[in-house]
Structure 1
Amino acid sequence: MVFKIVLLFLVFMGVVAWFGKMHWIGGKHLRQTKCAACGRYRIGKGPCGCGERS
């Protein structure tokens, strides 16, 4: 019984992760927030920490 619960939880988490990587749901959003010059993630609307405004 516990094995079934754990297995169903893992399958559910796998499906959620699969949907999170889909581009039409929002997976592309993180890729767009990277700095074009250094590749770091940008937080907010200001310039990147490297000094580039991309």
Structure 2
Amino acid sequence: MLVKAVSLFLIFIAVLAMFGKLRLPGQKRIADVRCPKCGRYRIGKGPCPCNTPKKKS
């Protein structure tokens, strides 16, 4: 019984690994969005933090 449970667990992990290696169609386009000014990755639709004016406190 223990051998069966371990083998099912290993098969499940192998299936998860196969799905993890799949590339989604839009993944490359999303990953390549960088700020042209500073080179940081932009997250979301808003402007890059390097373009926003600094608040004086």
TM over 0.5: yes
Q: Which has the higher helix share?
A: 1
Give the aligned CA root-mean-square deviation in angstroms.
Answer: 2.4
Under a length normalisation based on structure 2, what TM-score does the superposition of the two structures give?
0.55
Higher RCO structure (Cα 8 Å, ≥6 apart): 1
1:1-54 pair list within 5 angstroms: 1-19=4-22, 22=23, 25-51=25-51
Structure 2, unpaired ranges of 5+: 53-57
After TM superposition, the runs of 4+ consecutive aligned structure 1 residues lying more than 6 A away are none
Identity %: 35
Structure 1 gaps, min length 5: none
Q: How many residues were matched structurally? A: 49
